[in-house]
Amino acid sequence: MPVIPDPLDKRNKVAIEEAKPLYDRINKVWEKAEESFRKKGILAPVEYAYTDDDSGSYSIGLQKFSGKWRICIGYFHYSDPEQSTNWSLMTDAPIEDRVHCLQYLKNLYEALVKTNEELVPKLRKAAEDAEEVLRKLGI
- DSSP line for 33-51: HHHHHHHH---S-EEEEEE
pLDDT of 6 strictly over 70 = yes
pLDDT tens-digit map of 28-81: 999 999 999 999 999 999 999 998 777 778 899 999 999 999 999 998 877 666
The whole-angstrom separation of Cα 93 and Cα 73 is: 7
Rg, C-alpha atoms of the chain: 22
pLDDT of 83 strictly over 80 = no
User: What three-state secondary structure class fits 56?
Assistant: strand
Answer for the pair 88, 76: CB distance below 8 angstroms, yes or no: no
Answer for the pair 98, 33: CB distance below 8 angstroms, yes or no: no
b/e map 44-60, b = 16+ CB within 10 Å: eebbbbeeeeeebbbbb
- What pTM, to 2 d.p., does this model score? 0.82
pLDDT number for residue 51: 87
Element housing 13 (H / E): helix 6-40
